[in-house]
Each structure stands twice: as structure tokens, then as C-alpha cells.
Structure 1
């Protein structure tokens, strides 16, 4: 079973007991007033992740509004990823999605999230030297069979599994990489500090896929759950391919943010 569903079913139901009210004399639509009240309770943490929201009937009676108003409010909250509705069970406060800047910045996952004060933990699933396959050799501009270090990691954010990433680094660029403990260490920091290597340019692509059974078990989601597949190739300043990685991000916990600037400015 999806861990999200388990959390939602065991956290308790919210009871409406405060003095928040709809201002019937205001020109602001009732649904928007109600939405603002509920958003504040969720974003402030007063209503906890996994807690079950009151029923539509309870909302109607407590705020003296119609069922239409309540349904529009809940629909808007769901669109904002603040709540999750489970058929036959009700609506629940949804875990917060994490926003990444990985599509517009060459910093790694570790730097992206630690800078926000979040806790990152890593389980290293594989770390070994292998001959590069044709595809990997082509990406890294190596001869087929040339040795690369492969590192497969399961990354946790604040204790929750968020992504699985498989990374390939040419052995000749970082000979001792295979001997490093990366459970609590940034790969990019190691390459910079120990090998003087920095990714100066890169390309990244993203697509939507369904989780395989293995990925579902590792990320604690349902089989065929939606994942975001990120592929990245990075070069050093002189154009040498340094890293190729493939990362599978949980679709229910990840957002990728891109800042756009007009070409006219």
C-alpha cells in the first residue's frame, strides 16, 4: 500500500471549533473566503499532514455556506496540492511537495535542498567500477568497455524516500571515487575538493514515467505510480564529459521550477 494512504488513514480527523467565519457583508466570494481560511490552517501547520478534513456537511453547517461553496473550495485546494481526496474516505491534508531548481541550475540535489535547511540522507545501493556500455560510453565520450564508476543511491529528504539516482563518472577522472562513503557526502563537493573538477555546462531532460516494481518498493509508492525521470549530462569547463546520471523522482513529492526570461531584455 502507498505510504501516503497509510499516513492519511492514521492521523485523526480535524474538528472545527475556532471562531473563523465568513463575512456575509463582504463582496469577496464565499468560496474564496473559505479557501483563504483553510489555506492558512494548512500552511501554518495547525492542520497536520495526513489529518482528515471535516465532511462537506460539517463545513456547510459550521460556516453557514452552501455545499456548492464547499465543493469549489475543496476543488481549489486540491488543485493547489494542499489536500488529497480519496474516494469513499474523504479529503486529507497532503504532504508538501518539494520544489527543485535542477532544471535551471547545475547544482546537485544535495546543495539544492541543504540550502533550504532540509535534512538529506543517502543509502548507497551500488558503488563499483564497471566497463562502460555503448550508450554510457557514447554519452561520456569514452571507448566502449572503458571503466566508469557507477553509483546508485536512494535519497531521503527529512526521512522520506524521494528519489533514486544512478550516476556514471569516468574512472580516469576520479580514480578513488569507488572508495568514498557517500552516505552523508555530496558527490559534487567531493569532485571539486578532491579532484578539482566542476561541472560548468550541462543538459537535462525530464519526462513522466510509471514506477517499476523495484522503484515502487524503493520509493515506497504504489506499482506504476507516476515518477519524474530526469537525465543529466555535465561537462567541465574544457568540454570534458564528467558525469551522466539518470534520476527517478517521486511524482507526488516533486516540482521542478524553471525561471524564464524574455529574449527581448
Structure 2
């Protein structure tokens, strides 16, 4: 314990965080050894290991057996405690620069699965918007959403490559997302879409199936996301 009252392991954590933030420890770069930190902070190896373990658990550092500890190349941890923010707002709040690429934007006939989730008649027209979402130029999510064109006419007039769908619904249609239902599971993604996340044409992703509801408890959006599990983790806040 230093005179400041802050435990030494927390000082080590703050030091490493600042070195990463200021670019002195770059992404993918090896950091000093535990012995070097012991000398720098005049402390025990156990204290240093506690600090490094904390940063490894948060995804900021990664250990490679036989090589050492490295700054993680890329990691996002999203806390799921709000449905009012879209992808861009959430990522930018975490300090990432976001962008998107539209893979598909069209009208299709709703099949039984889509119609059931949106509570609309089968064969009703829906917009389908599929986008590849980037954070700091890294592909993170393939997002595919379905929205009723009868309820939200002229949605295709808005540029949605980097525009938040939530913002458009709020500003143009006076609709707010009140709550969501989600199902998550790990799946194997194959083919061309998997190549966004892996050179092998095969990737393990988090599949998130979501139905969003408005302030009147009516479904407004149904979507399926494929999330790059190597760089993205989810943390849920559960309230009584």
C-alpha cells in the first residue's frame, strides 16, 4: 500500500492502462515481464500477477504460453442494460470509431417466421436491411433486420449505411424502443459471410435473435445478428 492509500496492484493497473491509452504499449505488443514490473514498483510478483490477471480478465491483455503477455489486438465488452441505444451510439460511447457497409436493402415478403415475430400477416411486405458493422475498421457484426413497410412507409428513402435505425424511427416515426427479447447461442458460420471474420471461411460467432418492441408493446423490428466472438463479449445487468 502506497502513501496515497491506493493498493500497489491498482497503481500497476492504472500504469498499464495509461501506457496502452497513450500508445506506448501498442495493440499486439508484448508488455514488460512480471519481474520488470516487480523492479519498477518495488513489489512482489504476486502483486504484479494480480494486476495483470485483472487486465487479462477484462480483455485488455492476453497471455500466450511460452511467449509472454501482450496487449489485446482488439476487444469489445458491451454491457446490456439499455435498449435505447443503437450500435453506433453504444460503440462510440466505448471509444470506438464506427462505420457500416450495406450488404442488402430491399423489400421481401414475410415468411411465417418473420411474420410471427413482427405480428403481421404472412406475405406482408417488409424491409430487409443487412449491414456489416465495423468498430475501428474491424468487422464485428453482420446485422440483418426486418421492419414492416406498411407500418413504416418510405423507410428506404433514408440513408442507412451509417444512420442509426433507432434514430430514424425516433425522429421520423415518433417511435421509441421500450424493451427487447433476445435469444443467444454460439453457431458456426460458413461461406462468404464467415470470411468477414476469418480467412478460413469458417467462424464461430454469437447468434443474437432480437425482437424490439415500442412504447405501446408492439413489435417494430426483428433481427438476427452474427457477432464476431473473438473480439466481442456481452455482459448483462439484471435488475429486480
TM-score when scaled to structure 1? 0.71
- The aligned residue for residue 41 of structure 1 is 19
- The aligned residue for residue 175 of structure 1 is 153
Cα distance change on mapping 1:88 and 1:63 into 2, 3 Å:
same
Deviation of the 1:152 alpha carbon? 0.3
- Structural mapping, 1:28-177, within 5 Å: 38=16, 41-42=19-20, 44-53=22-31, 77-86=55-64, 90-102=68-80, 104-116=82-94, 118-177=96-155
CA deviation vs aligned residue, 1:181-205 (integer Å, no higher than 9, x gap): 2122111111222222222232123
For residues 162 and 115 of structure 1, what CA distance do their matches in structure 2 show? 16
- The aligned residue for residue 228 of structure 1 is 206
Moved over 4 A (4+): 29-40, 54-77, 86-90, 220-224
- For the pair 1:258 / 2:214, whether they are aligned, the reply is no
For residues 253 and 54 of structure 1, what CA distance do their matches in structure 2 show? 24
- For the pair 1:248 / 2:226, whether they are aligned, the reply is yes
Contact in 1 for aligned 2:83/2:180 (Cα 8 Å): no
- The aligned residue for residue 213 of structure 1 is 191
For residues 211 and 72 of structure 1, what CA distance do their matches in structure 2 show? 36
CA deviation vs aligned residue, 1:107-143 (integer Å, no higher than 9, x gap): 2212222345532211000000001111111111122
Larger Rg: 1
Contact in 2 for aligned 1:211/1:225 (Cα 8 Å): yes
Cα distance change on mapping 1:257 and 1:55 into 2, 3 Å:
closer
What do you get for the CA RMSD once the two structures are aligned?
3.6
For residues 107 and 187 of structure 1, what CA distance do their matches in structure 2 show? 10
Cα distance change on mapping 1:149 and 1:57 into 2, 3 Å:
same
Contact in 1 for aligned 2:83/2:179 (Cα 8 Å): no
- The aligned residue for residue 198 of structure 1 is 176
For residues 191 and 63 of structure 1, what CA distance do their matches in structure 2 show? 53
Cα distance change on mapping 1:166 and 1:57 into 2, 3 Å:
same
- The aligned residue for residue 189 of structure 1 is 167
Cα distance change on mapping 1:57 and 1:250 into 2, 3 Å:
same
Runs of at least 5 residues in structure 1 that lack an aligned partner in the other structure: 1-22, 24-28
CA deviation vs aligned residue, 1:82-119 (integer Å, no higher than 9, x gap): 32344565542103522324454342212222345532
Higher strand share: 2
Deviation of the 1:80 alpha carbon? 3.5
Contact in 2 for aligned 1:101/1:112 (Cα 8 Å): no
Deviation of the 1:235 alpha carbon? 1.9
Cα distance change on mapping 1:143 and 1:78 into 2, 3 Å:
same
